[in-house]
Chain A
């Protein structure tokens, strides 16, 4: 492929046309990416055309260009948010110094690792979701799935761009490795556990995009504060796309709940399964599962890595500049929930070491807000049921609660009790089988929706809901 072709095929604002090194790296990587996409991307039958948004520039008119695209032909681009003039490092030991346009040697390995971990989640979620096209509840939803998938693909491109442009040979090797790990593969798993879980059905997809993509939002926000400016700018642009994924998540969950409540009101019953919709207790169990698994993604409560990343200026806090403190945290403390002497207590730790915990708390607050919206829908139907987030110590695999058995209400129980009651709190195999039974095949006829979900309140890009968002030949 000539460099002209490449530049045309890869929309970008990183001056790819005049960067031979980057061109060559991407030239070699792109075919491998397409192979990966064909092998691990969405299973979509006979290459449908989907009404997709493609970013061709970072300005208002450029980042959301809609049109019909066959997915392997999607133009994955490389975009950085516009540079802020005279941007300064906002936290840590280098606070006040100009941001870095190159990777300083001292932080090379740490930065590369941050980028690789973020980058690894992007293709992982595509792999997790690849079979969902077969069971979509509507063409509208199928289109949204594809949109998320291509954008996760683009996020992978964004991270690969950083690896190629700034990390030399080992950057290229890491970029290659991002295509070689596989979600759920015993030998070459994705780096983070949550990204090795399957996303087996559409309820799981909406939970994932509501919760796990929201973890992505918080990680991206803290990386958007980075002293390494290209990383910060990349993440800022990714956040605009991530917002859509979370939109798909919360509206998807809201539509599920709306449909269920409709049935409950119409038939005056809690026993909704005979009517082919998702009962709220099952919904709650899915929520419990996805919430707890996502909490693990934030890492250990007390972390020297996080401290090092902060003092080095690599990864900041959520909305760092809005926080009113010295942005160094040398002497600050932060209360961390711990299980001590038979009770959960908040204990002060050096704030630097508690940054993961702080980001997790910001995340939980954000999820609470979203869940409030869904609970309002339930109330609006006069249904007497409230969804609730489980206790943060519930079902954890990472951090200091990993060894505890804790109920969603926060009671610490013994292992025997946990095993006996687990099915009350986490989706059982029969729950999952039931959910799968609701989704026997793809619903794609324009304007039609599966029975278990309500239509959205509006379509994409001002098109009506019954617009043909995916053209299947």
Chain B
């Protein structure tokens, strides 16, 4: 992911900042906030012209998220990637007319030098891991836009693309490299830094671009990378063009990509307004989501509120509702909360999800999304939920779902229960009488929201029994009480009101007592059964190795390559293979 010849800059010692419950991972000044908008971008310029959008990287050297490093040579930190993720998201919702997106550099002769090494060298392990996860998700979101949303990506490499710069390019459908005798694509992480191209680089090289693995080996151990014709021959890029014809080639290729898109030409986009969030002590409040942090239990209790009103009567009501449309508003809020917790609350290890609202109303929204799935905005909302649910799957926190009377887990919202490591559903009513808890399956639970392994969450729970999913499918539309929900593998345990409190407390306490590292490994392994995909290899195999290397003295020890990079001193490796 990395590489930049950034001179050593004196700055505060980021590594020694304590990782306490209140200090954000990044040890920067403020909590990390992923909410941004194009008018506040410091590093990207978004320009839309008809069917083509251009995202130009122009990193503000002094605009790093934390003090202590300068973002030279278009190198990036989390702040740069937050803006990229925002732009990719907005292009989908705000620009239905955009059919192709060009990623390029606004600078001469430098495309992107990858993740900033001073930033990496100065970050604690947890931040490095969270940073890599987020950037990986952004690249997967680019591929998702291209594959499912008709927004095709072209990467125009108009200068050196090193490490994370080239990895970003690999997320695009097409890589166009300037053939100027000096611009190269490279993955110098191994040679220079003693770490991996961990933002999907190694996996995409052989999985997506299908570069021969022996050449991939050579390429990934060659500091200076590969230029021009050889890059083309080896499949590292899709096209090369001399400087004089570069812009024209970009234009042509962008139009060709746009021609393959099914995005509507005349549709009006919706605006994603700034998300309202209030943090009051240990409570984080949005419109439909409220979260309470319990530091003693190291848990966050998340309550999701059902829709305030009925779903629009017909599709014409959708675009005017815009970002206030409940499923969209809710997804944005949950995503922001998850990212806030990931980046700012490392010690909150368990997320407990519950919901409250009218099950029929949720089911009506779900039916609306199914009925109008061909509409571009409905498609975006459904794809957004798919990505959100994957983000939840990939979150290194224990997930518990509580299904109580008055909850409204139906259809797409029920996926949150299926995403949980454990689901608890109340059997029978609470002591004071009243209704029983019910959940409802819809068609949405049978294919709309695959995880990174390509399986639906129900499929992932039924690998032992081919019939399990079809049996569950026959329950579509029914109110399922605890026993049914358990029988169809939607929840894990179904305590009654007498046991409820105790069981939930015990589950939380137990979780809080285990090693957070072991839990992260456990959950990541169990959440992703069955087949491998490129995505699962990125988040599983490559990430796991990278995170291991990030802990090893050969990278981060006093004489480690990452530590010493830019000082002129040579790394001193422990030569034993592990």
Residue of A103, A104, A105, A168 touching B499 (CB-CB under 8 A): A168
Complex: A388 Cα to B54 Cα, angstroms: 95
Query: Can you report 22 residue pairs joining A to B where beta carbons are below 8 Å apart?
Result: A20-B431, A21-B498, A24-B498, A104-B509, A105-B506, A105-B508, A105-B509, A105-B510, A105-B511, A105-B512, A105-B513, A106-B509, A106-B513, A107-B513, A108-B509, A108-B513, A168-B499, A168-B502, A168-B506, A169-B495, A169-B499, A169-B503
Check B506–A108 contact: CB distance below 8 A: yes
A20's nearest neighbour on chain B, judged by CB, is: B498
B173 to A: closest C-beta gap in Å: 49
Closest approach, in angstroms, between the C-beta of B255 and any C-beta of chain A? 60
Bound state CA distance, A104 and B509, in angstroms?
A: 7
Which of A21, A104, A167 has most B Cβ within 10 Å? A21
Q: How far is the CA of A107 from the CA of B514 in the complex (A)?
A: 11
- Write the residues of chain A forming the contact surface with B, with a CB cutoff of 8 angstroms: 20-21, 24, 103-108, 167-169
Contacts of B499 in A (CB 8 A): 21, 168-169
CA distance A332 to B401 in the complex (A): 47
Chain A min CB distance to B10 (Å)? 42
CB distance from A170 to the nearest CB of B (A): 8
In the complex, A111→B429 CA distance in Å?
32
Partner of B503, one of A20, A24, A168: A168
Q: In the complex, which residue of chain A has the Cβ closest to the Cβ of B509?
A: A105
Known: A105-B512, A106-B513, A169-B495. A21 touches B506 (CB 8 A): no
Residues on B with C-beta less than 8 A from A103 are 509
The A-contacting residues of B in range 502-531, CB under 8 angstroms, are 502-503, 506, 508-513
Chain B: how many interface residues by the 8 Å CB criterion?
Answer: 14
Measured between beta carbons, the chain A residues less than 8 angstroms from B510 are: 105, 108
CB distance from A31 to the nearest CB of B (A): 18
The residue of chain B having its C-beta at the shortest distance from the C-beta of A19 within the complex is: B498
Complex Cα–Cα for A20 and B431 (A): 10
Cα distance, A442 to B431, chains bound together (Å): 54
4 A-B pairs closest in CB distance = A105-B509, A105-B513, A106-B513, A21-B498
Partner of B502, one of A21, A104, A105, A107: A21
Known: A105-B508, A108-B510, A167-B506. 14 other contacts (CB 8 A): A20-B431, A21-B498, A21-B499, A21-B502, A24-B498, A103-B509, A104-B509, A105-B512, A105-B513, A108-B513, A168-B499, A169-B493, A169-B495, A169-B503
Closest A residue to B512 using CB positions? A105
Tell me the bound Cα distance from A21 to B510 in angstroms: 21
A169 to B503, CA, bound (A): 7
The CA of A104 and the CA of B296, in the complex, are separated in Å by 11
Q: Which residues of A contact B495 (CB under 8 A)?
A: 169
Q: How far is the CB of A471 from chain B (nearest CB, A)?
A: 42
Q: Whole-angstrom distance between the alpha carbons of A169 and B508 in the complex?
A: 14
A3 CB to closest chain B CB (Å) equals: 12
Residues of B within 8 A of A168 (CB): 499, 502-503, 506
| Residues in B whose Cβ lies below 8 Å from that of A167 | 506
Find chain A residues with CB under 8 A from B498 CB.
20-21, 24
Q: Which residues of A contact B513 (CB under 8 A)?
A: 104-108
Query: What's the minimum C-beta distance from A37 to chain B, rounded to whole angstroms?
Result: 26
| Residues on the A chain within 8 Å of B508, using CB | 105
CA gap between A168 and B507 in the complex, in Å: 10
A103 to B512 alpha-carbon distance, docked (Å): 13
Minimum Cβ distance to chain A for residue B504 (Å):
10
Rounded to whole angstroms, the CA-CA distance of A46 and B508 in the bound complex is 51
Measured CA separation A145–B167 after assembly (Å): 80
Say how far A98's CB is from chain B's closest CB, in angstroms. 15
Q: How far is the CB of A6 from chain B (nearest CB, A)?
A: 14
Min Cβ gap B46→A in Å is 48
A21→B431 CA distance, assembly (Å):
11
Q: Which B residue sits closest to A23, measured CB to CB?
A: B498
Residues of B within 8 A of A108 (CB): 506, 509-510, 513
Chain A residues, Cβ within 8 Å of B506: 105, 108, 167-168
Say how far B57's CB is from chain A's closest CB, in angstroms: 47
CA distance A21 to B511 in the complex (A): 23
Q: Mark B239-269, 1 if CB is under 8 A from A, else 0.
A: 0000000000000000000000000000000
- Min CB distance, A143 to chain B, in Å? 40
Closest CB of chain A to B7's CB: distance in Å? 47
Give min CB distance, B67 to chain A, whole Å.
Answer: 38
Report A312 CB to chain B, min CB distance, Å. 11
Bound CA span A169–B506, Å: 10
How long is the Cα–Cα vector from A21 to B497 in the complex, in angstroms?
9
| 486-503 of chain B: CB within 8 A of chain A | 493, 495, 498-499, 502-503
Max chain A Cβ within 10 angstroms of own Cβ: one of B508, B509, B512: B509
A165 → B minimal CB distance (Å) = 9
Measured CB to CB, the nearest residue on chain B to A105 is B509
Distance from B508 Cβ to chain A, minimum over Cβ atoms (Å): 7
